[in-house]
Structure 1
Amino acid sequence: MRKRPNLKREWIVATLTDPLRREVQPDARIRYWGRVELSDPVKSYILRVVTLEDGETVHNAFFDRNYREAE
């Protein structure tokens, strides 16, 4: 969070509790994607949160510009 002050803790928690998609990486870390609605201007962004193997410890979080809906 220190390196990304533009991200709010509640966005990360919401992504972990109700993700759009969840994927386990080969190194056992877990990726979660969630939608973040910003009101000014009204836009929707996709937040990717990567946790360690325990699924709770956040390793990284960022807005994912390359996210594509799964087919």
Structure 2
Amino acid sequence: MKITQYFLYTRNRPDRSIIKLEWIESVIKNPCEIKKQADGRFKKWGFIQEEGRYLRVILLEDEETVHNAFFDRNFKEVVNED
């Protein structure tokens, strides 16, 4: 997994150090939602069962390099009820 220096720096925060790398990889591979930011980066969300919360992963424009990852308390998954 490719990562930025910023990601390494933020991993030292207590609220970020609990985030497992396998959770980040899981969100990258199987997101429940993806949005492209105005700056070209990508936001991907995935539900982490063990935590009962959604993890947001920010990727650079290459969609491979992790720039940031954090639990997103404001995310609400849109469920299609067709």
- TM class by shorter-chain length? 0.7 to 0.9
More contact order relative to length (CA 8 Å, sep ≥ 6): 2
Q: Which residue of 1 aligns with 2:48?
A: 36
Q: Equivalent of 2:27, from 7, 10, 15? A: 15
TM-score (norm 2): 0.75
Q: Secondary structure at the match of 1:62?
A: strand
Q: Does residue 6 in structure 1 map to residue 18 in structure 2?
A: yes
User: Comparing both structures, which one devotes a greater share of its residues to strand?
Assistant: 1
Q: What is the rounded CA distance, in whole Å, between the counterparts of 1:22 and 1:36 in structure 2?
A: 16
**Equivalent residue pairs, number:** 67
State the shift of 1:6 in Å. 0.4
User: Comparing both structures, which one devotes a greater share of its residues to helix?
Assistant: 2
Q: Secondary structure at the match of 1:33?
A: strand
The sequence identity of aligned pairs, in percent, is: 45
State the shift of 1:44 in Å. 1.4
Q: Bigger shift: 11-20 or 1-10?
A: 1-10
Q: What is the rounded CA distance, in whole Å, between the counterparts of 2:40 and 2:27 in structure 1?
A: 18
- Where structure 2 has 5 or more consecutive residues not aligned to the other structure, the ranges are 1-7
Q: Kindly provide the CA deviation profile for residues 9-64 of structure 1, in whole angstroms up to 9, marking residues without a partner as x.
A: 000000000000000000000000001011xxxx5110000010000110100000
Letter in 2 for 1:65: R
- Where structure 1 has 5 or more consecutive residues not aligned to the other structure, the ranges are none
